[in-house]
Amino acid sequence: MANSLANDVLLRLARHGAAARLRELEAEIGLIQRAFPELWSTVGQPPERVRRRVRKSPRGPKRTWSAASRKAVSERMKRYWAARRAGRKK
């Protein structure tokens, strides 16, 4: 019985705290709306999502591999995987 009473008291206090926090958030939203009215439409809703600009990579132009480089890597990887398969069979 005491545990039930403690749960009721905790639930009541939690609701009281949640209601107080909600009032604080609503007041803060009002302050933000008054500080930045251009961000809000006439009905009080936030504007549509603003598209983010994508920055170009500062790394410079894209580097491509020559045919000889691709072939060298291909041969190296074929040897690598053949050695791994051979090691697994042992």
Structure tokens at 25: 């958030």
3-class SS of residue 64: coil
Say whether pLDDT at 36 is over 60: yes
- Tokens at 75, concatenated: 């041969």
User: Which pLDDT score is estimated for 37?
Assistant: 80
Instruction: Give the whole-angstrom CA distance, residue 8 versus residue 15.
Output: 11
Band (4; pLDDT cuts 50, 70, 90): confident
* Global pTM value: 0.40
